[in-house]
Chains A and B, each alone.
Chain A
Amino acid sequence: MSLPPLLRKILLVDLIKGLKVTFHYQPPSEAVTEQYPLERPVIYERYRGQPRLKVDPESGHSMCIVCNLCALACPEQLIVVKGERNPVTKRKEPVSWTYDLSRCMFCGLCAEACSTDALELTQDYEMALYSREGMVLDQKALEEGQQPVRYAK
């Protein structure tokens, strides 16, 4: 439809076109809003969220062998792993693990560097906390996942 510009102006063609567009968007099924606690977003497999340290389900040992590759790979250097050799099993086992979530940008380089696939970034995304200190995860938190903190007065 190509009317001369003056006629377009007089007949308000462009305005009516705009009105049509907004009218068609009206059915609520078009809405992209997500009612968050009721509806949860679809999280895809490769999403990088809360870090997890895996435990071997058969032996119950941590799968981490303290090779320190994750700490080296981390651009923010927020991973600190210390371990010592277990004299019985002759395995190197982690003694202290810290993962500072507050500085993490979820690049996933640590999980990629991990030689035993012990560290992974899971699909959990609810990581809100009441304090900064809580963002520094230790081995227990990394293995069990962050537990939700209930607000208490």
Chain B
Amino acid sequence: MLDAIKSYLSTSATPGEAGSMLWATIYILIITIGISLAVIAMNWLERKILAHMQIRLGPMRVGPHGLLQPFADALKLLIKEDIIPENADKLVFWSAPVVVTMTAFTTFLVVPFGREHAVTDMNIGILFMLGVSSLGVLGIIMAGWSSNSHYPLMGSLRSSAQMVSYEVAMGLAIVCAVLMTSLQTGTGTLSMIGIVEAQAAQHTWFIFKMFPLGFLAFAIFAIAMVAETNRAPFDLPEAESELVAGFHTEYSGFRWSLFFLAEYAAMLAVSSIAVTLWLGGWLRPFPNWLSGPAWDMAFSLVPALTMFVLAGLCLLGAARMPKIPQMKIQTAGLLIFGLLLGFIGLVLLLPGVRERVQDIYWFVAKVAFFMYLYIWYRGTFPRYRFDQLMKVGWKVLLPTGLGVLIATAVWGLLPQIGSAIMGVLP
């Protein structure tokens, strides 16, 4: 058994490539748990960062610095009464959150957390992700329709209109990145792992490729992905001030928390698309400028260092806790949490672990940056009006996307055009 594990870990293949059912299942379990934990962490971080941006403190009472708040919330949601409205379409009402959650989680099948850290390397990876994630709209429409109420219906109609229109611009931006994969080899790829490997082979992330075309495509995607996940400033479907809560107005308890889970999982999914396509996926930063084994070594220590910094922050927080008897347990908890983080940091220092975890670390760090952007946007921007939203989508992003696509194609063909002209000329 141990040998089997060791022999698998020594190979560098995804479970899909290795054809190993067992490992695929293990990866899926790990990813599912990881995403759920990430959503819990996001919940806390969002409330904290948003609060700090608004000069508040955010959750402070449940656990040290409110660290246990998301768990308290989850517990509350689980034991809350589950209400299905009397006139709702029961079956559709019941299945809508399932559809939304399942589509959001299925996309992670092809997300490459590292060269060997994906469940499978599908040759149509990016297409699969787009296709499955846009099925989520179906779930939202189902939720809005089956609630048999005005606000959810309005919310779901807005949501579907918005998601469908922004998907076009998003698709155009993605095609730009896919075109770039074919630059050196002549054949492009849709596989998520293939796209990152193309960036490694071309020694540049696609955001810097063909400047400013790569950056423009990325910018279009970065705007469209916020709209796609219904987040501020494009959060019209759940506009609290107008629609109560949009499509999930009638949902409560566990079903509502499924929607919540799906929303954050979808955010993680689109962020990982952006990271894979433009920010070099699992590749570490500055591979050209700071190259060589010494730098490789230095960068492989970063995950452990991050853990140590977090642990240090926890210990500092524990030291700065108010010294009163009511806070004793909280201080001890924070201390233990800090020590735990420090221990994880020590484990990450082991050579074998270091090699394997590095990829995941860089990928997650980049996705975390996008998650921060989401929160930052929400703390800063006011909501768009619906006509403005449509105007931005159809009149600005779509033409720009088309222009960038054409420009990318022409730029990519320049050498061939040049040689053709040279051939014609005597």
Chain A residues near B (Cβ < 8 Å):
15, 18-19, 21-23, 25-28, 30-33, 35, 38
Which residue of the partner chain, among A19, A33, A38, contacts B380 with CB atoms under 8 Å?
A: A19
CA distance A26 to B322 in the complex (A): 22
16 other A-B residue contacts (CB within 8 Å) besides A15-B380, A15-B381: A19-B377, A22-B53, A22-B376, A22-B380, A25-B54, A25-B55, A26-B52, A28-B57, A30-B52, A32-B55, A32-B56, A33-B55, A33-B56, A33-B57, A35-B60, A38-B324
Residues in B with CB closer than 8 Å to A32 are 55-56
Q: Which 6 A-B residue pairs are closest in the complex by CB-CB distance?
A: A33-B57, A22-B53, A22-B380, A26-B52, A18-B380, A31-B57
CB-defined contacts of B322 to chain A, threshold 8 Å:
38
Chain B positions within 8 Å of A, measured between CB atoms, are 49, 51-57, 60, 322, 324, 376-377, 379-381
Taking CB atoms, residues of chain A closer than 8 Å to B324 are: 38
CB distance from B55 to the nearest CB of A (A): 5
Name, among A19, A22, A30, A33, the residue most crowded by chain B CB atoms within 10 Å (CB to CB).
A22
Q: A25-B55, A26-B52, A26-B53 are in contact. Are A19 and B376 (CB under 8 A)?
A: yes
A99 to chain B, nearest CB (A): 34
CA gap between A6 and B380 in the complex, in Å: 22
- CB pairs A–B below 8 angstroms (16 shown): A18-B380, A22-B380, A25-B52, A25-B54, A25-B55, A26-B49, A26-B53, A27-B52, A28-B52, A28-B57, A30-B55, A31-B55, A31-B57, A33-B56, A35-B57, A35-B60
Please give me the residue from chain A that is nearest to B324 by CB atom.
A38
Minimum CB–CB distance for B221 against chain A, Å: 15
Docked pose: A133 CA to B159 CA in angstroms: 54
Q: Which residues of B lie under 8 Å from residue A23 when comparing CB positions?
A: 53, 376
Residues on B with C-beta less than 8 A from A35 are: 57, 60
Q: How far is the CA of A22 from the CA of B265 in the complex (A)?
A: 25
Q: Tell me the smallest distance from the CB of A32 to a CB of chain B, in Å.
A: 5
Closest Cβ of chain A to B394, distance in Å, is: 17
Q: Closest residue to B51 on the A side, CB-wise?
A: A31
B49–chain A nearest beta-carbon distance, Å:
7
Q: How far is the CA of A15 from the CA of B381 in the complex (A)?
A: 8
- Residues of B within 8 Å of A22, CB to CB, are 53, 376, 379-380
State A21–B55 Cα separation when bound (angstroms).
11
| Chain B residues within 8 Å of A19, by CB | 376-377, 380
User: Are B380 and A31 interface neighbours, CB within 8 A?
Assistant: no
Minimum distance in angstroms from B76 CB to a CB of chain A: 22
For the complex, give the distance between the alpha carbons of A26 and B52 in Å: 5
User: In the bound complex, how far is the Cα of B57 from the Cα of A32, in angstroms?
Assistant: 8
Tell me the smallest distance from the CB of B238 to a CB of chain A, in Å: 21
Assess whether A25 is in contact with B53, with CB atoms less than 8 Å apart: yes
A25→B58 CA distance, assembly (Å): 14
- Set A18, A25, A26: member contacting B381, Cβ < 8 A: A18
Q: How far is the CB of B58 from chain A (nearest CB, A)?
A: 8
CA distance A35 to B56 in the complex (A): 11
A76 to B53, CA, bound (A): 44
Q: How far is the CB of A13 from chain B (nearest CB, A)?
A: 14
Report Cα–Cα, A27/B56, bound state, in Å.
Answer: 10
Q: In the assembled complex, how far is the CB of residue A14 from the closest CB belonging to chain B, in whole angstroms? A: 10
- A21 and B54 CA atoms in complex are apart in Å by 10
Bound CA span A63–B324, Å: 40
Residues in A neighbouring B381, C-beta threshold 8 A: 15, 18
What residues of chain B lie closer than 8 Å to A15, measured between beta carbons? 380-381
Cα–Cα, bound, A135→B56 (Å): 33
**Contacting residues, chain B, for A18 (C-beta < 8 A):** 380-381
Kindly provide the distance from the CB of B341 to the nearest chain A CB, expressed in whole angstroms: 19
Neighbour of A31 across the interface among B49, B56, B377, CB < 8 A: B56
Q: Which residues of B contact A26 (CB under 8 A)?
A: 49, 52-53
Distance A58 CA – B219 CA, assembled complex (angstroms):
80
Taking CB atoms, residues of chain A closer than 8 Å to B55 are 25, 30-33
